[in-house]
Structure 1
Amino acid sequence: MLTLYDHAAVALYFAFMVLIGFGFRSFVKSVSDYFRGGGRMFWWMTGSSAFMTTFSAWTFTGAASSAYENGPLVLVIFLGNVLGYLANYWWFAARFRQLRIITPIEAMRDRFGPVSEQFFTWAYVPTNVMQGGIWLAGLSIFCSAVFGISLELTILFTGGVVLLISLLGGTWAVVASDFMQVLVLLPISIVLAAFALVEIGGPSALMAQFPADSLLGNDIHYSTIVAFWICAVLVQKLLTTNNLIDSYRYLTARDTANARKGALLAAMLFLVGPIIWFIPPMVAAVRHPDLAAEFPQLGNRTSEAAYVVMGMDLLPVGMVGVLVAAIFAATMSSMDSGLNRNAGILIRNFYQPLIRKNAGDTELLIAGKIVTVFLGVFIMLAALWQVKFKTMGLFDVLLQFVALIGIPLNVPMFWGAVVKRTPDWSGWSTVVVGFCLSLLIKLRFDADWLNVVLDLDPPLSVRESNDYLFIVAVFINTLIPSLWFLGTRFFYREPPAERRAAVERMFRNMRTPVVADEAEVRETDVNQSRLLGKFSLAYGLFLSAFALIPNNVAGRLAFLFCGGVLVVIGVALRMAARRTLRRQRQASPPEA
């Protein structure tokens, strides 16, 4: 059970996140500041935010359950993220920053026209709300296992805190909290992975004792399914990290160079993070083979508590609370960025162009905060619905959601950034084709159909059936809509002059590097480093103080390690702020 120290760690973490929101309120002076940080953030903020917004507590519940049941195969999903962000670094990150827009749907308007702007607004925002609900549901399952409180209460409380952070400081608060959450998440993950390996006797002992039928995991009759699943995951990740809607990750960067560095940082973090994340649930498969007996309240989702079980087993007094805070961080970063992004889309791409064309910044900021509240409520309702959906684990729910809903939206957003000469209707019509295919796949070409057609004996297992649906959805929804989009080139006709100018301007911008105006970003450069340095130092000292709790030597050292990481980075940021200020003073001309 959690101790008073653990509860204190969680409570202070929430208070700390809210303080970040208050701290960055002064950075918001315009709509651009609120929805994209004014495009003035350093690469380490942009990259950390890109990393944190790509996953959630689902990683430590749904994905951890896959590691618990099937071993290291789940790492393929995160290898796909590495490849996706390397593609960002190589080509897409620079071009996305160079779009010079505030919301990603503005790129869809420039590329496909105002009709497509509305289509993608109302296709993207609701699906993103549903995905946010899945993330929040994953967090609620985790907290139910740790605290023994209801799933519903966790959803409402966490959703409310995230909503408050988003309202206070906009994108500046969101991205700053993402950066801090990386600093909390990675050290505690390293500590738990190290303790788990020591507990079982090292990596070789773990692989020897892991209770799987093969390296492919359990419940596998046909290894070909696994091979196709790996390919499908890599295709899906490359597509979902390299498209116009996901350009939002780099709109905050201060210039082209910082956007590319941010993408590289995200790739490196995804190379390291998953390796340490999935050691504990694999050790749990050896040490806790019957989680159903330990967590009967989770029903058929007991394996989703595998990660926290090892934390409760191995971490010293007080550090389980830090672990809880770290996993809160994973979902909160995804949720608050989603809230801010979706509110920006509805204000900039619906409210302003169709309802209040002449609205000023003050009105748009107020409207943006009102919309943020409504979106936060909708996400909480989606999560409440998800926790009642007991027939499928979160791992398969999220993968199938992305394959059946996400990919049809992403295909035209990928090709639209690469191919210029297609008619305006090519974008929305490609999505319609993809949605129709998804419906057909779900209703007609499911696993039962394949069992009958191929007369499989034995039939596909439950795991293989879910994998099959994901494979078919990814490949069909990538191939056929891509052919449809590219085929519309044969129907291309020169658009009116205004539309032709918009498309030409978009592609010209994508080719033109953004160079920060040092005079404009001078104050922001210093303040973002200085303020985040203060927060890092403060939280690092707080964690280090937990070394005074009565624990063994290893437990005390663990707290000093986690706190020391934040202290060192805090000092480095403060020193960087001083160097920047010194350079600015030296570069300033003397007064007459």
Structure 2
Amino acid sequence: MHSADWIVLSAYLAATVGIGVLLGRKVKSTADLFAAGGASPWWASGLSAFMTMFSANTFVVWGGMAYEHGIVAIMVNLCYGIAALLAGYTVAGKWKRLGIRTPAEFVERRFGKGALHFYTWSMMIYRMVGAAGALYAIATLTVAVTRGSDTAVSVGGMPPELVTAILIFAAVVVLYTMIGGLWAVLMTDVIQFIVLNVAVIFVVALILLDIGGLGGFIAQAPEGFLSLTSGRYTWFFLFGWVAIHYFMIGAEFAFVQRYLCVPTARDARRGTVLFGLMYLFSPFLWLLPPLLWRVQSPIPEGATDDMIRVLKEEAYIKSCRHVLPIGMVGLMMAAMFSATASLISSQLNVFSGVLTHDIYRPLRNQITDRSLLLAGRLFTLLLGAVIAGIALCIPMLGGAERVIISITELMVVPLLAPILIGLLSRKVNVGALWLTAGICIPLGLMLHFRLIVPPQDSAIGQWLFDQSKTFVGVVLPMVIVLVAHLRARGVDHRWRRIEALQAAETEAEATRTGRADAAPARIVGWSMVVLGAGMTCLIPLNPGQRSIILLFALLVAAIGLAMLGGARYLQSRNAS
């Protein structure tokens, strides 16, 4: 990268930490640290949930799929939008009406302490490994851009640049999450959303100019590249992917936290619907660069599997480097870091909240909220160190990303279906949870490690085996939980504790104004104005692309001014 790109990336990282420090002034209690005091604007909650789905693996995995298979990558990502809309209309408001501080509190009240520990530790391990994989991916992309070559290395040969990148990126995320809490997570997510999408818009526009527009792309696209399904990504897989992510968005702790941080149940629904609507069109935008790059840099005839893998992994960043002016590559790397930071900060905040309120607090007879706040920040620091440590060991794990994708397909619904059904059904008890986990997770692990092998001489048997992960990971747990609901007699005794919470929250919500804090919109607005003004400094370095950079700077500044206008309106409405 050019020195200007490094300056842009470094300034972005410093500004991110600065926003965390600024928002740290709003954090006076654990309610502020882990739930933004219940005063987050609904749009911030929705955009933050949208960004939580992103990481550097989004560009490597889904970008690679788009480069190799085509439009099917967009179809897979549209499933997130459908799942979010379903969650918004069915469960987002219900979570807010519970009046809980953390999602783990619901698990304990609904299913008991055994279930609380099972979910806390199993989901924490799964999500920490996923966050570490994302941290390793963004560090690898950064070093790849720096070196201009592949950085796949063995454990003994990990370059010091990669170690440094992992530690710096981890430190930035931990600092702003530890100081600013959920407020910092939400606000940086909104800024990251704007930067990412504006940067991608410019990449797409420049690539389309380079290949002669969409017509040129369609004419040059490989055979089958525009098909809606491909290979193992069948309509049955897409159905399963919607179901998996309905349960993930509807019940995973990081997303439930977004439903709890807004003033009212209506705000929780609106934020989740915004998340879903954004995912119904945004994949068409941010997956276009690798799709178009396939036309610019086709897969050579006779390419080996290793060559194809490298081409896939590098497709996104190479498409950006090919067209972006000096300084804008640094901004694109900042956008990719932003996506990864969103995922990591969300997991840090939600699990430090669970450890503080639901694991540590019951161990202390008397403890002040100030002491809890300190404990929450220390847990954030500890979990950040764990993520960085795992990221440094990723080469030793040998392709952890592939394992994470497979485990997601096999374990999300068995873990989360009982929680979600337990929210909707008064009859389901803890037995359904243990039965679902006890049957589906061992079967899924047997399939993953190929302890169950497909029949060698049966086409139907082979097809059934190919679909078995979706069946075991999606259909079977849903069937088990629904059967448990139908066979249950009467209301589960633990549901009474949930009813008491709901009654208290309904009474409290009736006295609230439902007005969100106007400060977040001001912070985002000024950040965008400063970013737009700063981008004009790149004009002298790119004499042939002055108009493009100026247009980018004006667009970002205009978004900032619009946010500032919205903040003034919100402040005046709150004052009236």
Asked if TM exceeds 0.5, the reply is: yes
Conserved 8 A contact 1:412-1:431: no
Superposition deviation, residue 344 in structure 1: 0.4
After TM superposition, the structure 1 = structure 2 runs for residues 281-296 of structure 1, keeping only pairs within 5 Å, are: 281-289=290-298
Conserved 8 A contact 2:299-2:308: no
Q: For residue 560 of structure 1, what is the aligned residue in structure 2?
A: 550
SS in 1 for 2:70: helix
Q: For residue 528 of structure 2, what is the aligned residue in structure 1?
A: 536
- Structure 2 distance, partners of 1:107, 1:542, is 46
- Structure 2 distance, partners of 1:198, 1:310, is 13
Conserved 8 A contact 1:120-1:428: no
The residue identity in structure 2 corresponding to 1:108 is V
Q: For residue 580 of structure 1, what is the aligned residue in structure 2?
A: 570
Q: For residue 498 of structure 2, what is the aligned residue in structure 1?
A: 503
Give yes or no for the alignment of 1:229 onto 2:225. no
The residue identity in structure 2 corresponding to 1:306 is A
**TM-superposition CA deviations, 1:466-515 (whole Å, max 9, x none):** xx76x42232222222232233343557665xx34313235657888946
Of 345, 351, 354 in structure 2, the residue corresponding to residue 342 of structure 1 is 351
The residue identity in structure 2 corresponding to 1:207 is I
Q: For residue 374 of structure 1, what is the aligned residue in structure 2?
A: 382
Q: For residue 63 of structure 1, what is the aligned residue in structure 2?
A: 62
Superposition deviation, residue 89 in structure 1: 3.0
- Structure 2 distance, partners of 1:112, 1:186, is 41
After TM superposition, the structure 1 = structure 2 runs for residues 1-400 of structure 1, keeping only pairs within 5 Å, are: 2-148=1-147, 150-212=161-223, 215-216=226-227, 226-243=234-251, 245=253, 246-289=255-298, 300-353=309-362, 355-390=363-398, 394=401, 396-400=402-406
- Structure 1 distance, partners of 2:134, 2:546, is 32
- Structure 2 distance, partners of 1:400, 1:78, is 16
Conserved 8 A contact 1:183-1:565: no
Superposition deviation, residue 545 in structure 1: 3.6
- Structure 1 distance, partners of 2:326, 2:275, is 32
Conserved 8 A contact 2:32-2:182: yes
The residue identity in structure 2 corresponding to 1:170 is G
Which segment is superposed worse, 8-17 or 302-311?
A: 302-311
Cα 1:510–1:235 change in 2 (3 A) is farther
Cα 1:351–1:153 change in 2 (3 A) is same
Q: TM-score, normalised by structure 2?
A: 0.89
- Structure 2 distance, partners of 1:289, 1:512, is 62
Of 464, 475, 491 in structure 1, the residue corresponding to residue 471 of structure 2 is 475
- Structure 1 distance, partners of 2:293, 2:396, is 26
Cα 1:185–1:357 change in 2 (3 A) is farther
Conserved 8 A contact 1:142-1:304: no
Q: For residue 590 of structure 1, what is the aligned residue in structure 2?
A: none
Q: For residue 426 of structure 2, what is the aligned residue in structure 1?
A: 420
Conserved 8 A contact 2:72-2:233: no
- Structure 2 distance, partners of 1:11, 1:298, is 32
Superposition deviation, residue 397 in structure 1: 3.8
Cα 1:289–1:42 change in 2 (3 A) is same
Aligned residues: 561
- Structure 2 distance, partners of 1:500, 1:109, is 11
Which segment is superposed worse, 154-163 or 381-390?
A: 381-390
Q: For residue 411 of structure 1, what is the aligned residue in structure 2?
A: 417
Conserved 8 A contact 1:107-1:506: no
Of 445, 451, 454 in structure 2, the residue corresponding to residue 450 of structure 1 is 454
Conserved 8 A contact 2:244-2:412: no
Cα 1:581–1:483 change in 2 (3 A) is closer
The residue identity in structure 1 corresponding to 2:287 is F
Conserved 8 A contact 1:312-1:320: yes
- Structure 2 distance, partners of 1:385, 1:264, is 38
Please report the RMSD computed on the Cα atoms of aligned residues, expressed in angstroms: 3.1
Superposition deviation, residue 16 in structure 1: 0.9
Of 476, 484, 488 in structure 1, the residue corresponding to residue 484 of structure 2 is 488
Superposition deviation, residue 358 in structure 1: 2.6
Conserved 8 A contact 2:198-2:556: no
Superposition deviation, residue 116 in structure 1: 1.5
**TM-superposition CA deviations, 1:253-275 (whole Å, max 9, x none):** 12223222212221232223211
- Structure 2 distance, partners of 1:397, 1:298, is 21
- Structure 1 distance, partners of 2:120, 2:312, is 37
Cα 1:330–1:244 change in 2 (3 A) is closer
The residue identity in structure 2 corresponding to 1:124 is M
Conserved 8 A contact 1:86-1:264: yes
Cα 1:291–1:176 change in 2 (3 A) is farther
The residue identity in structure 2 corresponding to 1:502 is R
Superposition deviation, residue 25 in structure 1: 0.8
Sequence identity of aligned pairs in percent? Answer: 27
Superposition deviation, residue 62 in structure 1: 1.2
SS in 1 for 2:28: coil
Of 528, 542, 548 in structure 2, the residue corresponding to residue 550 of structure 1 is 542
Superposition deviation, residue 37 in structure 1: 0.4
- Structure 2 distance, partners of 1:368, 1:417, is 27
Superposition deviation, residue 341 in structure 1: 0.7
**TM-superposition CA deviations, 1:69-111 (whole Å, max 9, x none):** 1111011222111101211332222222222222111121222
SS in 2 for 1:14: helix
What residue ranges of structure 2 are gaps of 5+ in the alignment?
Answer: 148-158
What residue ranges of structure 1 are gaps of 5+ in the alignment?
Answer: 588-592
Conserved 8 A contact 1:45-1:175: yes
SS in 2 for 1:100: coil
- Structure 2 distance, partners of 1:162, 1:318, is 23
Q: For residue 570 of structure 1, what is the aligned residue in structure 2?
A: 560
- Structure 1 distance, partners of 2:445, 2:337, is 34
Q: TM-score, normalised by structure 1?
A: 0.87
Which segment is superposed worse, 209-218 or 307-316?
A: 209-218
SS in 1 for 2:498: helix
